[in-house]
Structure 1
Amino acid sequence: MQKLAVLFIALVITATPTEARRGSVDGGCTSDDPDVQIASCTRIIERGSRETMLTRAIAFTSRCLAYSKKRMYDRAIADSEEAVRLQPTFAPGFTCRGTARAEKGEHERAVRDFDEAIRLDPKSVWAYNGRATSHLQMRNYDRAIADFGEAFRLNPGYPGHVYNRGNAYLAKGETDLALRDYDIAIGLNPKSSWFWSARGNAFVLKGDIERAIEHYDSAIRLDPKYVAGYYYRGRAYVKKGEPERAVRDYDEGLRIAPTSALMLAGRGAAHVERKDYESAIKDFDEAISLDSSLGDAYVGKVSVLILQNKAAQALSVIEGVVLRHPDSSQLQNALAWTLFKLGRDREGLPAVERAIMLDPTNAAALDTRANIREAMGDLEGALDDFRAALAIHFIAESQAGAERVAALLARQKQATMVVERPSPPSPSPGPVSAIAERGPRVALVIGNGDYAAVTTLPNPQNDARDMAGALRDLGFKVIEGYDLDGTAMRRRIGEFGAALPGARVSLFYYAGHGLQVAGKNYLLPVDAKLERPSSLGVEAVEIGTVLADMEAEKRVNLVFLDACRDNPLSRSLARSLGTRSGSVSQGLAQLNAGIGTLIAFATSPDTVALDGDGRNSPFTAALLKHIRTPALEIRSMLTRVRADVIRATGDRQVPWDHSSLTGEFFLRAER
């Protein structure tokens, strides 16, 4: 971060007009020391109108970078906003705000800042680099690759851009292209330990451990204090089956960085391979004391306890940490895996479902659920999960693999072979939810695309009409509406509410524009303009309005929201809110379902979905593909939908769902 900040400030200063650089912003305001930088920039800012507006904008931007270096991101964002207020066309102000937001993990908002910086300055190398980094964190690999490539084209002498592009290729699973980029980076800077170790990581993914170790050797020769080199080489030795050499590498890494929890967890894993369980537990415990949320350490400790036939102790360890960190996908998966290893398959399902809900791209959790489903005899569900895991890149450590899919397919084929005299199936009471939901089914389907104030969306009408047809086939009474203004939309919602008493299943499907404000989700009629702060309550429909009617009685409630498209109206509302503009976000906020309710989003919370190039959006196309499948439990259906959308969008869109269903539910129960 520090080197990036220094280079960025140098570019800010040299890119501004000479009259704005007459000594006011040199010296301390461009210092490498953030404290000196903050003090010097503050003096310039406090001179107020005695300095030009551009000079003050530069000072605010420089101080923004200094605050970012100190991880004071909210202050950094406040300074960048002041820079943009003073100079609305000052690209570096947007770049700095994007950088701070990215460091906070707000990558969607960061991308919008980088977009604006690039619009204002199409040659802004650091805006391209920043946007690429955020896309990489969001697993938008193709976009990251394109932006890193553009940054490198604009500044071909700086190897960091092509190195980062190599990382994006590696994350995408295209190891040969990653190796090509690392070669270019090494050609520009052959003494970079980072570049040599990155090349080693690529060879690990190719399964060539020997060549990987050779590259880690080179990285360590260049810098004997390069801690990451010892960690990577130790991990490679474990894979090679030489845990003694791995332990020596971890020992050296810990000599250089004695408080590295990750290094201790790595050494613990090497001790497990040596069957030195006492040393392994000691290392895992020390790692946990240094980092109480390090999933690798807990997973390692639990694995050792299971190997030692201390199942009850293993379960108490992981249950305790999950209670302290309930929102850790990795730890929820560790709990599920522990229960699975103890033979308590069904008990592991809720934990792994939560792990996947928290992080739909957690390939290890999908792998765990696949194993649980396979053990329970659900071969189709296991196949769905293995395939979904394979659709997520960078899963070399996961047990999910093509050979597992092939084995399951063979088992499935064998299980479904027709024998000469098949026995009639035994009567079964069926799943809990399938019994509970017998009775009327009522659905509300709305598709809004022909907006008056913004460009028409091409798909929502098609999406809604096709979904209405599918739901009628599944026995729903469908109340539908297309391109509804506010009055008509509220009327349809009223009709839906009036039809619900006595229904055993209610379903709401919406395609069109939506947005979130202060954590609440709103759907937009086609006449919405959102030109004033008061417009939100008058023109938009809060999703809770629909949910209130659905959850008024005990029933199965299903909500499908294809409402996360890029939305110009959210930007219009943000402008009208002024200082409260930060409360407006594109995409929808997470919704927690009431008991008996399942809510499915076209993409994960706070992110934007794609419209698609065909008749339907990617999310609705996948729904339509699977919604009529007989005897497919709805959460298994959504897993298939997620895998299809990830594959169709090149990892740019990951559907998300939240369920409080109390049993299995089938839209089409018969086989």
Structure 2
Amino acid sequence: MRRLLVALCLLTASLSSAPCSAQARSQLGPLCTTDTTPAEQMIEACSKIIALKVFKGAQLATVYFWRAVGWNKKGDYARVIADTTEAMRLQPSQAVYNLRGSAYYDRGDYDIAIADFDDALKLGPPSGIIFHNRGNAWRGKHDYAKAIADYDMSIKSDPRSAFSFQNRGISKQALGDLDGALADINQAIRLDPTLPQPLINRTAIWRAKGDLDRAIADGSEAIRLAKEKPPVNIMTPPNSVLISGYTHRALAYEAKGDYAHARDDYKSTLAIVASDAGSKANQATAKVRLSLVTDAIAPIPREQPLPTTQPAASPAPQQTGTAPAPSPVPAVRGTRMALIIGNGAYQHVKALPNPPNDARAVARSLRDIGFTVSEGVDLDRAAMQKVTRDFLREAARAQVAVVYYAGHGVQVDGRNYLIPVDVELKPGANMTDAMIDMDTIMAGLDDQVRTNILIFDACRNNPMAQQVASAGTNRGMEGASGLAAPTSLGTGATLGAGTLIAFATAPGQVALDGEGANSPFSIALSRHIGTPGLEVQQMLTRVRAEVVSTTKNKQVPWSNSSLLGEVYLAEK
């Protein structure tokens, strides 16, 4: 992603004309203020100039700016922000605001980034580069209309800006305009065929269209270009292009059923050092999916000979200790899949009577509207892991994925965990080892070409055995009450595009298990989820209103969305 600097030559000139020792002028100055200087040398030279204490005001601001450029090359955004903040104190400038805004963007702090880009534009003159950068930040916030408006301004300023066409195309794709997105991405490629980034983004479009062979071809060319000529733009996060290229090609291979190549690409993704929020999100996804595709590749027994190049007669069928390697499965776009789990028969903590009933009711409602449903009731850790991993693997070919879990849930250090029925905490044991990490499920589903709906009726606060006296039948466990609000949609832990997360009650609050056979939340959800022509967020609004009424304001369901358009679970 390209975020160019503004007026670098003007800043360099102020340093070149400043009084300094002969050594600083002849050696340190050029090393500090030349954008092709390696990061370590740039930082060292600028630091020595600062230590000379011969500069003040705007000239010293220039040195801090260039040292921030060095830190930016290394992906050390905290130091970028520190040095640009000092440069602003000495002499505010458009270039400094732009650089600091870009650092905040790369950290995932989009609101602060937008504020810095606003200030840069106020200082003037109008800059297509800064409009482009602000568009990136709006896109990070999933405000695609504002992003497109800024990219329009950038393209108006520079009609040959390949990156502005590319990122406008990404925004159009997010809004469901695949043809408009493809036109913009193609224009970016025509403007600069040597850039790998537009090819990576076209890979995602081909996947969304179900053309996996083209997706793989574009991904391969993007990786070749990124290796052959690593991005020299100092505003491009280190290694981000290569990480993105491997991740997108791996997703295409996996959707095609080519697990061996997908595994290799996920490994390559994880072998690279990531510095920015987007790259870390890609690696979070790669880590989960690598485990899934590795499971899908059955090992060949050592005594089995390698395949020969000559045709051989097929051996008689026989039972072996390993399953045959799966054949590639063609992607079926439009597939709608759901994972439904209800845990209530807990062995070492207080049982919950209703989650199995809740799960069956929701599963039945989803089957009625055409979902392929994987259903599990009262699962221990091994079974829960298996059904979850099997679902995540199959979801690689889905257009819509729904996850519903009812049972005990707990937040530990701000992370949410789902509780198998055999959970037992022993002195000295790590609490989370016996649980299923919700973030792992989210990372495994994180893919911009799929819509993900995750619904958790798991805020029923019931303590661990012998830890806290029970005051009633409700959901959530020791660690903290209720579930924590997921940070993934906003901080880059996962990209979160096209995802909706719903809790049976507000984060940190307790959901009721119900007096009858089902929880208040599952009763309302089962009633409304299959309503034809009801958009999913409107559906959840109806669920929320019914639960609030039923519980007399004791329970208010909560949701957070980065959906990219209207989603209908039941056909109009």
- TM-score if structure 2 supplies the norm length? 0.52
Q: Which amino acid aligns with 2:183?
A: R
Q: 1:366 aligns with which of 501, 506, 516?
A: 501
Partner-residue secondary structure (3-state), 1:366: strand
CA contact (8 A) 2:260 2:297 kept: no
Q: What residue number does 1:37 align with?
A: 42
Q: Which amino acid aligns with 2:260?
A: V
Give CA deviations for 1:301-320 in whole Å, capped at 9, x if unaligned: xxxx999x973335599999
Give how far 1:263 is off: 4.6
Using the alignment, how far apart are the partners of 2:221 and 2:16 within structure 1? 44
TM-aligned CA distance change 1:102 to 1:46, over 3 Å: same
Q: 1:311 aligns with which of 380, 398, 418?
A: 380
Q: What residue number does 1:332 align with?
A: 438
Q: 1:111 aligns with which of 101, 111, 114?
A: 114
Q: What residue number does 1:248 align with?
A: 261
TM-aligned CA distance change 1:183 to 1:360, over 3 Å: closer
CA contact (8 A) 1:373 1:379 kept: no
Q: 1:63 aligns with which of 63, 67, 73?
A: 67
Structure 2 gaps of 5+ residues are 19-24, 229-241, 273-282, 301-320, 324-339, 341-373, 389-406, 418-435, 445-453, 462-474, 491-495, 506-517, 567-572
Q: 2:201 aligns with which of 194, 198, 201?
A: 198
Using the alignment, how far apart are the partners of 1:173 and 1:274 within structure 2? 34
Using the alignment, how far apart are the partners of 2:165 and 2:183 within structure 1? 9
| RMSD of equivalent CA atoms | 5.5
Q: What residue number does 1:181 align with?
A: 184
CA contact (8 A) 2:458 2:504 kept: no
Using the alignment, how far apart are the partners of 2:111 and 2:252 within structure 1? 35
List aligned pairs for 1:417-428, cutoff 5 A: none
List aligned pairs for 1:326-405, cutoff 5 A: 326-327=414-415, 331-332=437-438, 354=483, 358=487, 366=501, 376=523, 378-380=525-527, 382=529
Give how far 1:78 is off: 2.8
Task: Establish whether residue 233 from structure 1 lines up as the match of residue 224 from structure 2.
Answer: no
Give CA deviations for 1:443-477 in whole Å, capped at 9, x if unaligned: xxxxxxxxxxxxxxxxxxxxxxxxxxxxxxxxxxx
Give how far 1:70 is off: 3.3
Q: What residue number does 1:170 align with?
A: 173
Q: 1:140 aligns with which of 139, 143, 156?
A: 143
Using the alignment, how far apart are the partners of 2:141 and 2:416 within structure 1? 18
Give how far 1:108 is off: 1.5
Give how far 1:381 is off: 5.4
Using the alignment, how far apart are the partners of 1:51 and 1:334 within structure 2? 51
Q: Which amino acid aligns with 1:62?
A: W
Using the alignment, how far apart are the partners of 2:16 and 2:142 within structure 1? 39
CA contact (8 A) 2:243 2:269 kept: yes
CA contact (8 A) 2:458 2:482 kept: no
Q: Which amino acid aligns with 1:95?
A: N
Q: 1:207 aligns with which of 203, 207, 210?
A: 210
Q: Which amino acid aligns with 1:209?
A: L
TM-aligned CA distance change 1:213 to 1:185, over 3 Å: same
Give how far 1:119 is off: 0.5
Give CA deviations for 1:373-411 in whole Å, capped at 9, x if unaligned: 896563345469x967679xxxxxxxxxxxxx8xx9xxx
Q: Which amino acid aligns with 1:33?
A: P
Using the alignment, how far apart are the partners of 1:202 and 1:274 within structure 2? 27
Q: 1:161 aligns with which of 161, 164, 171?
A: 164
Q: Which amino acid aligns with 2:212?
A: I
Using the alignment, how far apart are the partners of 1:324 and 1:381 within structure 2? 32
Using the alignment, how far apart are the partners of 1:249 and 1:359 within structure 2? 24
CA contact (8 A) 1:67 1:75 kept: yes
TM-aligned CA distance change 1:320 to 1:104, over 3 Å: farther
Decide which structure has greater helix share.
Answer: 1
List aligned pairs for 1:74-93, cutoff 5 A: 74-88=78-92, 90-93=93-96
Give how far 1:231 is off: 4.0
List aligned pairs for 1:645-664, cutoff 5 A: none
Using the alignment, how far apart are the partners of 1:279 and 1:125 within structure 2? 59
Using the alignment, how far apart are the partners of 2:260 and 2:98 within structure 1? 43
Query: Which structure is higher in RCO with an 8 Å CA cutoff and minimum separation 6?
Result: 2
Q: What residue number does 2:293 align with?
A: 270
Using the alignment, how far apart are the partners of 1:359 and 1:256 within structure 2? 20
Partner-residue secondary structure (3-state), 2:7: helix
CA contact (8 A) 2:32 2:42 kept: yes
List aligned pairs for 1:465-484, cutoff 5 A: none
CA contact (8 A) 2:68 2:80 kept: yes
- TM-score if structure 1 supplies the norm length? 0.45
Most deviating of 61-70 and 218-227 = 218-227
Give CA deviations for 1:348-393 in whole Å, capped at 9, x if unaligned: 9759973656567866563797999896563345469x967679xx
TM-aligned CA distance change 1:177 to 1:128, over 3 Å: same
CA contact (8 A) 1:148 1:161 kept: yes
Using the alignment, how far apart are the partners of 1:14 and 1:635 within structure 2? 62
Structure 1 gaps of 5+ residues are 281-298, 300-304, 392-404, 409-621, 652-671
Partner-residue secondary structure (3-state), 2:193: coil
TM-aligned CA distance change 1:328 to 1:310, over 3 Å: closer
Give how far 1:115 is off: 0.7
Give how far 1:183 is off: 0.6
TM-aligned CA distance change 1:194 to 1:63, over 3 Å: same
TM-aligned CA distance change 1:365 to 1:188, over 3 Å: closer
